[in-house]
Chains A and B, each alone.
Chain A
Amino acid sequence: MSALELYSLKTELLHAIAEASDLDKLEEVRIAALGKKGRISELMQALGSLPPDERKAYGQVVNSLKTSVGEALEARRRELARTATAEKLSQERADVTLPVPEGPLAEGRIHPVSQVTDEITEIFAAMGFAIAEGPDIETDFNNFTALNMPPEHPARQDHDTFYFAPAADGTRALLRTHTSPVQIRAMLKTKPPLRIIAPGRVYRCDSDQTHTPMFHQVEGLVIDEETHLGHLKWVLEEFCKAFFEIQEVKMRFRASHFPFTEPSMEVDIGYARDGDAIRIGEGDQWLEILGCGMVHPNVLKNVGLDPDRYQGFAFGLGIDRIAMLKYGMPDLRAFFAGDLRWLKHYGFPPLAIPTLAAGLS
């Protein structure tokens, strides 16, 4: 075949490749060119019949033709494959604006009381306080008498106590009116030094917007040989700063009276009202948040501790109340209504575990 004929063949084949409109047609062109009986294959086969001196030069020309056609076929094949994929994918459209389920982590919630209890625990654990517990159904002794409120003590009237029917021996179980009986249980069980908090449910016969017959308190108790009111102030100030997550806190300590502490104080926290929101640490209004004092010598005696040697402080704080202050719930009764709308709004995501390292809220 002459050089001109070879050139013409090359032009013809490249044209056919470019014209192939799909992969099947391209395959036909390939077979026609490079298949067993293809035109280039025939030329290759014809090489053997040429004289040896011509064979080398002509062979190089035919090989070059084969390479060019092969490359063109491959390039066209890729191009056609790309087009075919694009065509196929264009048929496979999903409506990506459809909403997907958010999954159980987005649905579940932790109740504010549990969350705030975890926050309180985190803070006091860092100060070396352990967590103590006691039963809701208490004895008169643990709830009152051991706490320096003997029978007929006028302070008992302020407790609005829920009672059970008297037992055969005349004793009468009650629902604890405060978490303070856990102090008694802790001191009877463990020798000082003692550093505990005791969160839990407490009960009073009382009900309005800010009082419910059941609510939550956390008790704090430190007993050793040197802890005094200055330490109590420090602990409460540190707690309030950590809990409300503010740099400075305004606190007012007022003398007060609890039968189980001496001296006794009530503590107010300074706040400002900004519309419906409450800003802790600003402003000049006061809100009572807790009662506290030095454990009364009679209480120490009642649990067999010598008040000339041991001393310490106790405090009691309303968990629901400081939860309302920090997170702005307006009505205490809603805490116990099990209303999913409220729980989803004020509750916390399951993995929002309060830590001091990451911040509590």
Chain B
Amino acid sequence: MKFTFSWLKEHLDTKASVERIADTLTRIGLEVEELFDPATSFAPFRVAEVIKCEKHPNADKLSVCEVDTGKERLQVVCGAPNARAGMKGVFAPVGAYVPGIDLTLTKAKIRGVESHGMLLSERELELSDAHTGIIEVDAKAKVGSPAAKALGLDDAVIEVAITPNRPDYLGVRGISRDLAAAGLGTLKKDHVRPVKGSFANPIPIELEFDNDRANACPVFAGRLVRNVKNGPSPEWLQRRLKAIGLRPINALVDITNYISYDRGRPLHVYDADKLNGAIRARLGRKGETVLGLDGKIYEVDDDMCVIADDRAVLGLGGVIGGEETGVTEATINVFIESAYFDPRRTARTGRRLGIQSDARYRFERGVDPDFVVPGLELATDLVLQTCGGAPSKITIAGKPPKTNKLFKFDLALVKRLSGLDLGASEIKRQLAALGIALDGKGKQLKATPPSWRPDLTGPADLVEEVVRLTGVDAIPATPMMQVAGVARPVLTEAQKRQRLTRRVLAARGLVEAVTWSFIPPEHAELFGGGQAELTLSNPISTELAQMRPSLLPGLIAAAQRNRDRGVADGALFELGQAYRGAEPQDQFVAVAGVRFGHSALAGSGRHWSGEAPAADVFAAKADAIAALAALGLDQASLAVTREASSWFHPGRSGALKLGPKTLLGIFGEFHPDLLARLGIDPPIAGFELDLDAVPATRQKRESKALEASDLQPVRRDFAFLLDAEIGAGEVVRAALSADRALISDVGVFDVFTGQGVPEGKKSLAIEVTLQPREKTLTDAEIEAVAERIVAAVKKATAGELRR
């Protein structure tokens, strides 16, 4: 919402400066977005008179002027064809900043002649694009006086942000009322005067709604004005509209626009000679269309409130008028409409048709229903002043809805909600200044808000008014009650685990990324997602249209972008939500990591001590295992299977499970087809864990005491010849099972295929640690355990001991 300082003063009697007005507006809830004060911006520019104007000795198109600035006479070189002796223009002295050419003037020599300043064109002042000549100001303007004043630009323009609860702020008068209530002057008396009609309005107005839809347009007032002379609106009106960025059209239209901004009261004017029969407010009918004032054809439906005559739809009530019945410069008889349209229906209609209009903006916020008739009177008054003519009597169909309801208000609520300790009289003064009627004695009152404040519906709203006008700065900061003693921990188990997982992965050299929750649909499909229920109806682009089933596609895409920027090796991870469906329980917290190029725990890229290995299935597995270990799951408790998803390389990937049912995560190198679809080259490997599937670990305090034996552990090595398909994990598990009390650890220290190992077989070597507890083991006891280990491995894997 834009307005000018002089416009404001038409409603507000104030001595406050424009800066003070702006500060107050911001404080009370009308955040000033822009304050343009030409008096300040144009301060260096003054009216000057050209005393002499002679041809430049060295240039045909330039002239050399002697200019009287009011303080001195200066020589100025000028290129404008209209420069001549005796004219008055706008002078910029040396040192002034000229906005249109983005230059601070210095003394200059132009083709050998000194120039001490500049005579300005409109473009150089950014007033318009005109630059063929310099500005000529009125001959009566005083030499040396501010140029802004001479140009009629001494009116500051203020633009404020409007919160959607305040339709009354969409008129300058509403803003003035709040400034007065905030103590910046007094609101002037309203100057709306009824205009007597000289004949009965010949155009009937009908409200054609069912009872339960009557709120679509509960009141509609109108009158005819005959024999008007439409044309350009008067100078003052055009200037005001231009100052706030509106284009003057003709007097009748300009008057409705003016009242829209002056009072927040939208109106519509029809060329009465183009109307057929009665004016009817009703719901639209399927198949009807209307040509809007914006030149577009709109299809109407039966949820929209339309204005029609006997023949056709004329416009969309509260949203946009129709082109065919609009006024033109040729209009002689004008019908003026002032109605009230239901905010919700207006919003729906506007949204469905994609129409943003000043009328919709106001009606959907709720205009003052009691100003329907005064608005019509004000418009008639201005039409008569501007265009002449003879007004009819007013026809009113329906009656204004009651948008304001009485409610109880306990003055003590101000202190209870805000902490502000104000006297009853101060609270009452502020509320009265806003037009709120208070009845009753003592602290228990009854409040009736004015008709222009549909946002005031309960006592908390009045507390807001008091807080706003008093200023939040006046509220004393009050410490909150705290628990006695040291603050207690507040994080949930899941929150702690997420924090820990992040730090563990970062400590392994992975860099945390945050990527979009929505990804290209084809990426989602590649990773098992793409359900219709997770497709956005209105994505910002097709690249960001599908909720991600996994964090991996985002990370892989990020890896490729890094490569494109010349980062060949790296490791990224993300911890965040992914989606199996649209229900809350379908959202889960995942953590995923990728390593690309040459990247491993020890480092990335090339190094004199040896290049990091290419990212592979084991680098990915190690990252996943480390994260799970930090969450209390050791490797021995996990089952590793080959059931990784289809987006992984089938031979170089795995799944991490807890028991047969609980899938914790997957890891591996990616399927080459997938990498081709995503446009990324190997090496790249990754993992993803479902953190919500990881069971909570037992409390640390319940853990067992350390059992450290004084006896030396015994280590024995075994090498087995196995089918190449047998997993090392099976051998380890079998060996451990041979004597759970005695065997404390089984490690794999060699895997070998090739010379000496038959085709289809592999040699796998394990180191078994035996930890005696009570006495040193005898050779016979060690031998017995060894035999059990060999037997267990053979039983589980058919592997033979190599000798």
Binary contact track A285-300/B, C-beta < 8 Å → 1, others 0: 0000000001011000
Is A188 an interface position by the 8 A CB rule?
A: no
* Interface residues in B513-557 (C-beta closer than 8 Å to A): 513-518, 532-540, 544, 547, 554-555, 557
B364 beta carbon closer than 8 Å to chain A = yes
The verdict on B708 contacting chain A, using a C-beta distance below 8 Å, is no
Q: A351 touching B503 by the CB < 8 A rule?
A: yes
Task: Kindly supply a per-residue 1/0 record for chain A positions 241-284, scoring 1 wherever the CB is within 8 Å of any chain B CB and 0 otherwise.
Answer: 00000000000111111010011111000000000000000000
Q: In the bound complex, do residue A255 and residue B28 qualify as a contact, i.e. CB atoms below 8 Å apart?
A: yes
Indicate if the CB atoms of B460 and A294 lie closer than 8 Å.
yes
**Interface residues contributed by chain B, number (CB under 8 Å):** 103
B11 at interface (Cβ–Cβ under 8 A)? no
Pair count A-B, CB < 8 A: 273
Q: Judge if B473 is at the interface, Cβ distance under 8 Å.
A: yes
Chain B residues lying within 8 Å of A227, measured Cβ to Cβ, are 480
Q: Are B417 and A108 in contact (CB under 8 A)?
A: no
In the complex, the answer to whether A108 meets B480 with C-beta atoms within 8 Å is no
The reply to whether the CB of B41 lies closer than 8 angstroms to some CB of chain A is no
Knowing A230-B477, A338-B515, A339-B562, the reply to whether A121 touches B416 (Cβ < 8 A) is no
Tell me if B472 and A229 are in contact (CB < 8 A).
yes
A118 to B166, CA, bound (A): 38
List, in ascending order, chain B residues with CB within 8 A of A339's CB.
558, 561-562, 565
Bound-state CA distance A329–B164 (Å) is 32
**Among candidates B483, B508, B583, residue contacting A104 with C-beta atoms closer than 8 Å:** B508
- A350 / chain B contacts, CB cutoff of 8 Å: 503, 506-507
Report yes or no: B479 in contact with A234, Cβ–Cβ below 8 A.
yes
Decide yes or no: A262 and B487 within 8 Å by CB, A108-B510, A118-B499, A254-B26 being known contacts: no
Cβ A165 vs Cβ B535 within 8 A: yes
B285 on the A face (CB < 8 A): no
Query: CB-CB < 8 A to B472: which residues of A?
Result: 229, 233, 253-255, 265
Restricting to B340-395, which residues have a CB under 8 Å from any CB of A?
A: 343-345, 347-348, 351, 364-365
Kindly list chain A residues whose C-beta atoms are within 8 Å of the C-beta of B483.
Answer: 128
Q: Decide: A347 near B512, CB < 8 A? Known: A101-B603, A110-B506, A230-B477.
A: yes
B494, closest chain A residue (CB): A133
User: A255 CA to B758 CA in the complex, in Å?
Assistant: 83
Instruction: List the B side residues contacting A107 at CB < 8 Å.
Output: 509-511, 571, 603-604
Candidates B467, B479, B571; contact of A229 at CB < 8 Å: B467
> In whole angstroms, how far apart are the Cα atoms of A253 and B475 in the complex?
10
* CA–CA, A163 and B537, complex, Å: 5
A327 to B508, CA, bound (A): 24
* A152-B348, A230-B418 known; A131+B511 contact, CB < 8 A: no
- Bound complex: CA of A116 vs CA of B480, how far in Å? 24
B contact face: mostly helix, strand, loop, or mixed: mixed
Within 8 A of A (CB), among B434-492: 455, 458, 460-461, 463-464, 467-468, 472-473, 475-480, 482-483, 487-492
A147-168: which residues lie under 8 A (CB-CB) from chain B? 151-155, 157-158, 162-165, 167
User: Which residues on the A side are within 8 Å of B765 (C-beta)?
Assistant: none
Contact A254 B507 (CB under 8 A): no
Provide a sorted-by-A list of 7 A–B residue pairs whose CB atoms are within 8 angstroms: A98-B608, A128-B483, A137-B584, A257-B165, A296-B460, A339-B562, A350-B503
B interface with A by C-beta (< 8 Å)? 26-29, 31, 163-166, 343-345, 347-348, 351, 364-365, 415-420, 455, 458, 460-461, 463-464, 467-468, 472-473, 475-480, 482-483, 487-492, 495, 499, 502-503, 505-518, 532-540, 544, 547, 554-555, 557-559, 561-562, 565, 567, 570-572, 575-577, 579, 582-584, 587, 601-604, 607-609
Given A130-B490, A254-B27, A336-B516, list of 10 further CB < 8 A pairs? Answer: A103-B603, A127-B480, A135-B584, A165-B532, A229-B475, A230-B419, A254-B31, A337-B561, A339-B558, A339-B561
